[in-house]
Amino acid sequence: MLAHFAPSSAVIVAMLVVCLVMVLAFEASNGFHDSSNAVATVIYTHSLQPVQAVVWSGVMNLIGVLVGGISVAYALVEILPPDVLTPPDGAPAVPMLVAIFASALFWNVLTWAFAIPNSSSHCVIGSLIGVAAADALIKSRSLAQGVDWHQISTVLKGLAISPVLGFFIAGGLYLALRLIVRKGHLLEPPKENQPPVWWLRALLVLTCTTVSFSHGTNDGQKSIGLIMLTIIGLLPATYALNPGAAEQMAKLPAYATQAEPLIAAYGDDIKAQGLAAAQALARAQPQLAHQAEELRADQPAVDGERATRSQLRGYVYDVVSQMKYVSEQSSVPAPQRAQAKQLLKSMSLPVEYAPWWVRLLSAICLGAGTMVGYKRVVRTLGERLGRQHMTPGQGAAAELVGSALIGTAGFTGLPVSTTHIITSGIAGTMAASGQGVQGGMIVRIILTWLITLPVTIGLSGLLFYLLAGNF
């Protein structure tokens, strides 16, 4: 449908603006769910006022985003095929962006409306898988070859294991806490409108701080890659290539020459596309040198180079995709796999980056979403998981374990769900306390978690098929 419009037409530009609005709205809805987990205990126990909690959480989210890098962001982006990320003619990837943002945003807001702590990560991942699967069908590729199942399985393993760890480790920590403390403020439900004693208040603020920081290092990154794809579509001449990677840009022809024999010998079913991209990069030595000089001098590209930078980005993604495939194949000799892995790392630098203001924008949207929508999720976590209301000790145990799991995953580039970890951790502490959990609410949450992937895969796949197909 959208393939009939010129890349610079008013319709495409308008759609890109809509995409930018949707991705920012999605990041705010991420705040409804994920960031609310970070402030749930301090608000519910009256350790901090809501405004104080959200502002403090937002600051720590921002620091986490800035410190944590962008490895999680692009771990998700890599699920998409290269020609979906950057179409071969330099056109903006509007069908992909609309399909992902509309599907993920719809399901995030719907689950929030029912006060169910759902995973924004699962929404994004399901939408990405749907687009990849629909693209394979459009191009008549098998789903086995057209979808990067290795990358998807890596992502899903972390998402599946982390809630189980959160449940048992937080439950065990709370049991140990009860054996040590036995009685007192730590094990008593909070009194209405009365903050806890100072040392307990300090402990809960500390756990809120660690979860917020860890959330920034992981969940805070997840929309950054998608924001970048939208920004690149709107302003390709400025943002298609990393201005901080001029040296790597100049070396791309040499890297592409090294990649050619690896692609020819070990590439996947569309290795011809990767070979053509590698050859195009090898031939573009003067052009790439010119682009590198412009980046070093911080000069904008002239109008005629608007599509050129996008096309260069597309060539890099085509080659990088093949290097990723080669590096993951056990049938490829170890030296060649190592070479492919090194080329993958070196060639990704010019196209995988995020300016500081994009990270700041992501953190602001997270904080704004938390401020607007925190009440529903906070009440569910505090009152609807267990048969009794959450105690400060339970919240502290769940958040300490959650911050450790989330932070570790963020610095290793593995996406995990803050919602799943914190919710599972609180449920684990309530089970460990002997008070039990509310079965009906737990069943609703688990069912929502289970159907999130199928629903978002179906929605985004259908949208992409309709928008990207030639009808």
Q: Which 3 state secondary structure label does DSSP give 386?
A: strand
Residue 63 has pLDDT above 90, yes or no: no
pLDDT at 306: 47
Percentage, residues of the chain above pLDDT 90: 11
Between CA 235 and CA 329 the distance in angstroms is 36
- Phi, psi (deg, nearest 5) at residue 200: -70, -40
Contacts with 445 (C-beta within 8 Å, 6 or more apart), sequence order: 116, 117, 118, 423
Q: How confident is the model at residue 374 (pLDDT cuts 50, 70, 90)?
A: low
Q: How confident is the model at residue 379 (pLDDT cuts 50, 70, 90)?
A: low
- pLDDT tens profile 190-212: 666 677 778 878 888 888 888 88
Between CA 213 and CA 388 the distance in angstroms is 29
DSSP letters for 219-255: GGGTTHHHHHHHHHHH-HHHHSS-TT-HHHHHHHHHH
pLDDT at 304: 47
Q: How confident is the model at residue 103 (pLDDT cuts 50, 70, 90)?
A: very high
Lowest mean pLDDT among 174-188, 209-223, 296-310: 296-310
Give, in order, the Cα–Cα distances in Å from 82 to each of 96, 321, 419, 435.
12, 7, 30, 51
Alpha-carbon radius of gyration of the chain: 23
Q: What is the Cα 167 distance to its own chain's centre?
A: 23
Residue 397 has pLDDT above 60, yes or no: yes
Contact 435, 102 (CB under 8 A): no
- Across residues 166-181, what is the average pLDDT? 85
Residue 189 has pLDDT above 70, yes or no: no
pLDDT at 275: 93
- Across residues 222-236, what is the average pLDDT? 80
Lowest mean pLDDT among 20-24, 343-347, 364-368: 364-368
- pLDDT tens profile 290-342: 666 665 555 555 444 445 777 888 889 899 989 988 998 889 999 999 999 99
Helices vs strands, H then E, count in the chain:
21, 0
Between CA 466 and CA 448 the distance in angstroms is 26
- Across residues 144-162, what is the average pLDDT? 77
